[in-house]
Amino acid sequence: MKTRDEIILMTKLAIYDKDHGHKDKLCDEHFRADYIYKKNMWTRFYVTIACLIIIALDVMNRVIVEQIDIFSLDLKSELSKYAVNMLIILLAYTFVGSLLANKDYNLRQARLKKYFGTLSRLDKLGKQSRIAERSNKEDLRHGEPTYDKRGFN
């Protein structure tokens, strides 16, 4: 029979599994550096796509609205200007993304540590209750009355 404390701990574990368990356990499969690298890879990918869209819109604006001849543009200087801006933006997003991914990793690891601590407490309670049940059964076999914490049979 499960005790009240065991039921409370099992409920906490079930709530954790429902809310955070799957993602936290996936995070636990990676080292910190791998987790941050994987997160930053997607950040860099999306920032590059966004920068390319902005560059395309800027070129279209200059050609269509400002009526600049596309063949009169100095391609080398234009590309270097866009490349430097894109590199600065990528570095900034990489730095911010690393900080956020590190914070996320620490949060998930803290939750997992608490989860495994709760699991350990549940295991200890389960062992204690099984020992108590065995001793109660042995007492009943010997004909001795047994009492719970409140003094009842």
Tell me how far apart the alpha carbons of residues 79 and 105 are, in angstroms, rounded to a whole number.
37
Task: Check if the beta carbon of residue 51 is closer than 8 Å to that of residue 89.
Answer: yes
Q: Please check the confidence at residue 99 and state whether its pLDDT lies above 90.
A: yes
Cβ atoms within 10 Å of 27's Cβ, excluding its own: 20
Nearest to 101 by CA among 144, 37, 152: 37
Query: What does the domain layout of the chain look like in residue ranges?
Result: 4-141
Rounded to two decimals, what is the model's pTM?
0.64
**pLDDT at 86 (0 to 100):** 93
**pLDDT tens-digit profile of 2-52?**
778 888 888 988 998 888 888 888 878 888 888 889 889 999 999 999 999
How far the first Cα of the chain sits from its last, in Å, is 15
CA 10 to chain centre: 22
